[in-house]
A and B are shown apart, each in its own frame.
Chain A
Amino acid sequence: MLNATLSELSAALAEKRISSVELARLFLGRIERLNAELNAFITVDASLALAQAHRADRDRAAGKAGPLTGIPLAHKDIFCTKGLRTTCGSRMLENFVSPYDAHVIERFEAAGSVLLGKTNMDEFAMGSSNETSYFGPVRNPWDRTLVPGGSSGGTAVAVAARMAPAGTGTDTGGSIRQPAALTGICGLKPTYGVVSRYGMIAFASSLDQGGPMAKCAQDLALLMNAMAGFDARDSTSLERPQEDYGRELGRSLAGLRIGLPNEYAGEGIEPGVRRAVDEAVRWFEAQGAKTVPVELPNTALAVPVYYVLAPAEASSNLSRFDGVRYGHRAKDYADLAEMYSRTRAEGFGAEVKRRILVGTYVLSHGYYDAYYLQAQKLRRLIAQDFAAAFRSCDVILGPTTPTTAFPIGAKIDDPVQMYLNDIFTIPAPLAGLPGLSIPCGFDDKGLPVGLQLTGGYFSEAQLLGIAHRYQQATDWHLRVPTEAPL
């Protein structure tokens, strides 16, 4: 059961081979065994999970069961949950209990799923290694000395180590796809506006997007069916008819045009990553897909553009954490100014402070045009590159990350090296496009490699269909991490 997909679990529940309560206990037990070492969860409330599981069992008995009824899930601790603390990986919110539920949480509750716990993350989603969490680093179950990626590293590890069958993450510059790649699971960043941001603590509002993380593409589709959809409380939520994200799971790959950007094949990509990705591309060709070279000439600018725009928005988004209405407040201060500056100095970690300072700088008088406005213009060029590329291809394929998982501590003192790990995941959110990472093999060290599929706007179902075909023929996604055996 621990290794089962959501559809398999759903079937087992429907056929009464297991109850929701038993299933919840199974995963809670696994969490209890592994979490102390892996640190994937910040908060686990077994009694709450079991209460929800009981309700799911009752609903099922009453004939009111959907595909996710009774399915336990792990939610990133960036989604506000009423009555269960929401920390966002920060000391600032160490004891914050939200008085309301995020839209995504409401959706999953309505679907009958069970909340196993809240997962660890880089503080305020700022990081690519899960080392910036106030609650300590998350460890990669393929090698516990390595990072799992970030910022949604907690959910990635929870799923990879089979502490939860699936969960949620958020992606601003790669925070779903990169940890999915580094832990050997699947993660989808939807088109901007498809999943409501209401109740998802903001990092960079014009980039943030919640999405599912699971073992296979089919599971991602099931989760998307629950979490995507219009929400009037988010002005950027798109009013579109409800989709079935599983509708293309049976599609053929014949005639599929796969774009291969030169820019995604440059130096800096580890040989093991390159080999696994090339092999996947050859598999697609063998299924009748055509590969076409495409150009994304502004790719190199994406990282600098992102590190202007995201900190700028973050510097403003994080101003509300001032110690007045909730969250941390410093103990000692002489006056109001000192209360603010000490509260924020104590409540935020080094990376968050660094990004606030960068963001403050690029928006400040005299620098706005040179940095912020320039970055917004380049953002358009990057989006236009994609639009041009999608005229000759249906999907863009490449590595999710240039390297596999790296050691804890290796990059934490060098922010720029850390940022460059996101070079392939940053462009899609700048353009607002959906991106999917799926496992496509292992490097020489036995570490998982992620294959990234980027599609046009609202192409999630198509991306999931393509990935599903691949996963019917390969078993990379079913491999259990060596340091978290079943």
Chain B
Amino acid sequence: MSLSPDQIERLARLARIALGPGEEVAVVGRLNRVLGLIDQMRAVDTTGIEPMSHPVDVVQRQRPDCVTETDQHELFQAAAPAVEAGLYLVPRVLE
């Protein structure tokens, strides 16, 4: 399986990564080598094998329903690029 520059562009759009002019062509070669590597595993017959999501077989712990966090928005927002009136600012969001 190898990807075309168009497909790379679509993936880049999904991943919100801008590719510079002609960059998808440069990316395509290296990416296709990686895909060539991972394609090696596609042919293996895995019928009846349970997929493994976690390396250890344990179940989800549940915490009691308690409020443990305090208001720290000023501390947190010290790291934010743009803030006003306690809100994070972003370019206009349209519905």
Q: Determine whether the beta carbon of A304 is less than 8 Å from that of B51.
A: no
- Taking the complex as formed, is A326 at the interface, i.e. its CB lies under 8 A from any CB of chain B? yes
- State whether the Cβ of A377 lies closer than 8 Å to any Cβ in chain B: yes
Contact bitstring B1-18, A, C-beta under 8 A = 1, else 0: 001000010011111111
Give CA–CA (A345, B93) in the complex, Å.
21
* Complex CA–CA separation, A207 to B31 (angstroms): 22
A341 and B17 contact, Cβ closer than 8 Å, known pairs A97-B79, A377-B50: yes
Over the window 21-38 of chain B, the binary record of Cβ atoms lying under 8 Å from chain A Cβ atoms (1 yes, 0 no) is: 000000100110111111
Residue of A with least CB distance to B80: A325
CB distance from A18 to the nearest CB of B (A): 37
Nearest CB of B to A12, in Å: 39
Chain B CB within 10 Å — which of A303, A304, A371 has the most?
A: A304
Q: Which chain A residues lie closer than 8 Å to B72 at the CB level?
A: 99
B8 near A377: Cβ-Cβ < 8 Å: no
Given known contacts A308-B38, A354-B30, A238 and B44 CB-to-CB distance under 8 angstroms: no
A407 to B: closest C-beta gap in Å: 20
Chain B residue at minimal CB-CB distance from A333:
B91
CA distance A378 to B27 in the complex (A): 28
- Size of B's binding interface in residues, CB under 8 A: 53
Q: Whole-angstrom distance between the alpha carbons of A96 and B78 in the complex? A: 10
Interface of A is mostly: helix
User: What 0/1 readout, one digit per residue, does chain A (353-372) give for beta carbons within 8 Å of chain B?
Assistant: 11011101110100000110
A323 interface hit (Cβ, 8 Å): yes
The interface stretch among A47-55, A56-64, A411-419, A464-472 is A411-419
Among A292-338, those with CB < 8 Å from B are 300-301, 303-305, 307-308, 315, 319, 322-327, 329, 333-338
Say how far A426's CB is from chain B's closest CB, in angstroms. 12
Task: Kindly identify which residue among B38, B58, B77, B91 contacts A336, using a CB–CB cutoff of 8 Å.
Answer: B91
Cβ contact within 8 Å between A304 and B33: no
Q: Chain B residues with Cβ under 8 A from A430's Cβ?
A: 55
Select one of A344, A377, A380 contacting B17, CB under 8 A.
A344
Assess whether A301 is in contact with B33, with CB atoms less than 8 Å apart: no
A239-B63 Cα distance, complex, nearest whole Å: 14
Within 8 A of A (CB), among B42-95: 42, 44, 46, 49-56, 58, 60-61, 63, 72, 75-82, 88, 90-93
B34 touches A415 (CB 8 A): yes
Q: A2 contacts which chain B residues (CB < 8 A)?
A: none
Q: Are A377 and B49 in contact (CB under 8 A)?
A: yes
The answer to whether B34 and A99 have CB atoms under 8 Å apart is: no
- Which residues of chain B have C-beta atoms less than 8 A from A238's C-beta? 56, 58
Q: Given A96-B79, A354-B30, A415-B34, is A374 in contact with B42 using a C-beta cutoff of 8 Å?
A: yes
Give the nearest-CB partner of B13 in chain A.
A341
Question: Given A322-B16, A376-B52, A336 and B93 touching (CB < 8 A)?
Answer: yes
Other than A193-B56, A375-B38, give 6 A-B pairs with Cβ distance below 8 A.
A99-B75, A304-B37, A329-B81, A376-B53, A383-B52, A457-B56
Which B residues are within 8 Å of any A CB, using their own CB? Answer: 3, 8, 11-20, 27, 30-31, 33-42, 44, 46, 49-56, 58, 60-61, 63, 72, 75-82, 88, 90-93
Q: Which 5 A-B pairs have the closest CB atoms?
A: A432-B55, A376-B51, A341-B18, A377-B46, A329-B81
Q: List 22 A-B contacts (CB under 8 A).
A: A206-B53, A206-B54, A232-B61, A239-B61, A301-B40, A315-B15, A326-B80, A345-B19, A356-B17, A357-B11, A357-B27, A358-B38, A370-B42, A375-B38, A377-B46, A377-B49, A378-B46, A379-B52, A381-B49, A415-B34, A432-B56, A433-B55
